[in-house]
């Protein structure tokens, strides 16, 4: 179990950072926070989500923490490390919540002071709402927590981040290499968001909304998307996402060609495979 | 209101035909049925879903009904009209439940005896289960009932089919031309089923199932698909479906190109439009 003596600093108090803080404070940990917004810090203090907070990272404040969780946009995270890592206590452990891994984990490990250790992690628990006011540690229940260690990591540090996932209340904690993580997320999450955005923008269907059934609603739920965050995540996983789009488009072409030529048997073969494979995902 | 004196014949007792029968009998109508399966007729009689049934359409049986609902696969429906329409009572009204309209409605109207009238309808209430044993008139609650009249139809007959939709318990009853219906269904339903099938078949993701979140599950729920029925519906709406696929693929290409060239602004513009448009579909 993650030792109760660990003082934990959350850098970035959005939906995920705020929910981390709430979960950990309820478990009895001392939780501090850094946010650019004074209003966010005030709110988090007032509602007992954090024990201490600041808008200005100082050596005294940052240096008091043993475990640092970065819940920032990727480019902000890398800039923060560059600007403030000299304040971090020697032997402190760092982790993050970023939705892509290769382009973040290796970069941070490259620039980090050698006596610090960073283990990447991805809590798969997003929502279509934002900010500290929506923070809710219930979103971790039933969700996946993926730790993405590299050769630069010690087994001890990896275990500690897995224990963090347990303390947060995740249902399933697993390890994947940054590469396997990015392939998986490129297919299961980024490609599906691309599809939803393309479906929603390829035709103005306002006049059709009265006829819309559950399946169109389900497919486009994720078409409500934080453009700043997702455009950054897409571009940071560019090669992998392009490969996944190519795979999908090749299969759409195959379907289209079967429809155009009236090849009923080819259509039915694809539908049977699809039906069979979908059973993997029945809960 | 649809007169209670009308005797209603359901031809084809699958999920939809069976649910029609159950709803109408509960409302007090006399409901008969024709099914190829003696077991289906026995089940429907035993559970009080129908008042009378047969596996063999005869002049005596079929000729007793005023309103006939065809809940058959399209090619079976057309064959049935050819084989048995001579048994139908003069001035009887015919309707159907088929998911595509142009290729069915005009064909049936072309071959129908001139003293009979056929008004097409599409109850948008499918499920991923089949057969009389899953019949459940609750599936019509909150759903859309679309009547697709043509120039061959009288206002009186159209109104009677709208009243049928009311008697079945649909939440919203509307009229669309067969052409507008097929465009709408090509986009909202058939294209989304193509996407789900392509997504499910383009990559073997069994090893990823542990990491799958709600968005991938939502997008592929409809990948469990009745291949016999859907391949027929796709091919009967071929030109319209191909146009919708083209629209979608052009937008996927645009997204892919923005990702490949790192055009963050183009990505964000599409995401903002997608977010804005998705609000049309909030319930």
- Of the residues A149, A176, A203, the one at which a domain ends: A176
Q: Are residues A61 and A162 in the same domain?
A: yes
Is A65 inside a domain boundary? yes
Please give the average per-residue pLDDT across A142-154, as a whole number.
96
Is B154 inside a domain boundary? yes
- CATH code (residue A269): 1.10.3660.10
Which of B215, B230, B255 comes nearest A197 by C-beta? B255
Contact B228 A195 (CB under 8 A): no
* Percent of the residues in chain A that have a pLDDT greater than 70, as a whole number: 100
Contact B205 A280 (CB under 8 A): yes
Which of A192, A202, A217 comes nearest B215 by C-beta? A192
Number of domains in chain A: 2
- For B84, phi and psi rounded to 5 degrees? -120, 0
Please give the average per-residue pLDDT across A199-218, as a whole number.
84
pLDDT at A169: 96
Q: Are residues A142 and A193 in the same domain?
A: no
Q: Are residues A240 and A261 in the same domain?
A: yes
pLDDT at B283: 61
Q: Are residues A201 and A159 in the same domain?
A: no
Which of B143, B268, B278 comes nearest A231 by C-beta? B268
C-alpha to C-alpha distances, A172 to A138, A142, A175, A216, nearest whole angstrom? 14, 7, 10, 30
- CATH code (residue A63): 3.40.50.720
pLDDT by residue for chain B (283 residues), tens only, comes to 899 999 999 999 999 999 999 999 999 999 999 999 999 999 999 999 999 999 999 999 999 999 999 999 999 999 999 999 999 999 999 999 999 999 999 999 999 999 999 999 999 987 778 899 999 999 999 899 999 999 999 999 999 999 999 999 999 999 999 999 999 999 999 999 999 999 999 998 877 877 877 788 888 888 999 999 999 999 999 999 999 999 999 999 999 999 999 999 999 999 999 999 998 877 6
Contact A202 B250 (CB under 8 A): yes
ipTM: 0.90
Q: Are residues A189 and A53 in the same domain?
A: no
Is A39 inside a domain boundary? yes
- Kindly write down the DSSP assignment for every residue of B42-94, as one continuous string: HHHHHTTS-SEEESS--HHHHTT-SEEEE-S-HHHHHHHHHHHGGGSPTT-EE
- Of the residues B176, B205, B231, the one at which a domain ends: B176
Which of A209, A211, A216 comes nearest B146 by C-beta? A211
Is A1 inside a domain boundary? no
- The contacts of residue A1 (CB under 8 Å, 6+ apart) are A163, A166, A167
Domain that holds residue A123: 7-176
Contact A256 B245 (CB under 8 A): yes
pLDDT at A231: 97
pTM (2 d.p.):
0.90
- Of the residues B146, B176, B206, the one at which a domain ends: B176
* Cα torsion angle, A215, A221, A223, A229, sign: negative
* Cα torsion angle, A27, A32, A38, A42, sign: positive
Q: Are residues B46 and B163 in the same domain?
A: yes
Q: Are residues A253 and A134 in the same domain?
A: no
Q: Are residues A31 and A150 in the same domain?
A: yes
Q: Are residues B103 and B162 in the same domain?
A: yes
Q: Are residues A216 and A119 in the same domain?
A: no
**pLDDT tens track for A111-124:** 999 999 999 999 99
Q: How far apart are CA B91 and CA B109, in angstroms?
A: 14
Q: Are residues B199 and B81 in the same domain?
A: no
Q: Is A171 on the interface with B (CB under 8 A)?
A: no
Q: How far apart are CA B218 and CA B189, in angstroms?
A: 14
Residues 202-261 of A with CB under 8 A from B: 202-206, 208-213, 215-228, 230-232, 234-235, 238, 241-242, 244-245, 247-252, 254-256, 259-260
Distance to chain A for B2, nearest Cα, Å: 24
Is B2 inside a domain boundary? no
Is B1 inside a domain boundary? no
Q: Are residues B19 and B125 in the same domain?
A: yes
Is B77 inside a domain boundary? yes
Is A46 inside a domain boundary? yes
């Amino acid at each position: 179990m993650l030792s109760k003596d660990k003082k934990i600093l959350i850098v970035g108090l959005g939906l995920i950072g705020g929910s981390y803080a709430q979960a950990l404070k309820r478990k009895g940990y001392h939780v501090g926070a850094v946010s650019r917004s004074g209003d966010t810090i005030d709110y988090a203090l007032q509602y007992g989500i954090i024990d201490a907070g600041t808008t200005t990272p100082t050596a005294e404040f940052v240096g008091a923490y043993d475990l640092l969780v970065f819940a920032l946009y990727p480019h902000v995270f890398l800039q923060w490390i560059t600007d403030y890592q000299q304040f971090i206590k020697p032997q402190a452990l760092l982790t993050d919540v970023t939705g892509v891994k290769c382009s973040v984990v290796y970069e941070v490990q490259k620039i980090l002071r050698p006596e610090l250790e960073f283990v990447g992690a991805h809590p798969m628990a997003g929502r279509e709402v934002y900010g500290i006011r929506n923070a809710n540690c219930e979103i971790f229940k039933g969700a996946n927590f993926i730790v993405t260690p590299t050769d630069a990591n010690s087994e001890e540090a990896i275990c500690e981040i897995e224990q963090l996932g347990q303390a947060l209340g995740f249902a399933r904690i697993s390890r994947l290499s940054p590469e396997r993580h990015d392939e998986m997320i490129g297919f299961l999450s980024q490609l599906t968001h691309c599809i939803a955005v393309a479906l929603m923008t390829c035709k103005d269907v306002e006049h059709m909304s009265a006829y819309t059934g559950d399946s169109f609603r389900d497919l486009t739920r994720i078409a409500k998307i934080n453009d700043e965050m997702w455009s950054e995540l897409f571009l940071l996983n560019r090669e992998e996402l392009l490969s996944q789009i190519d795979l999908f488009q090749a299969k759409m072409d195959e379907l289209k060609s079967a429809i155009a030529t009236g090849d009923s048997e080819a259509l039915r073969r694809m539908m049977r495979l699809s039906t069979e494979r979908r059973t993997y995902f029945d809960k």
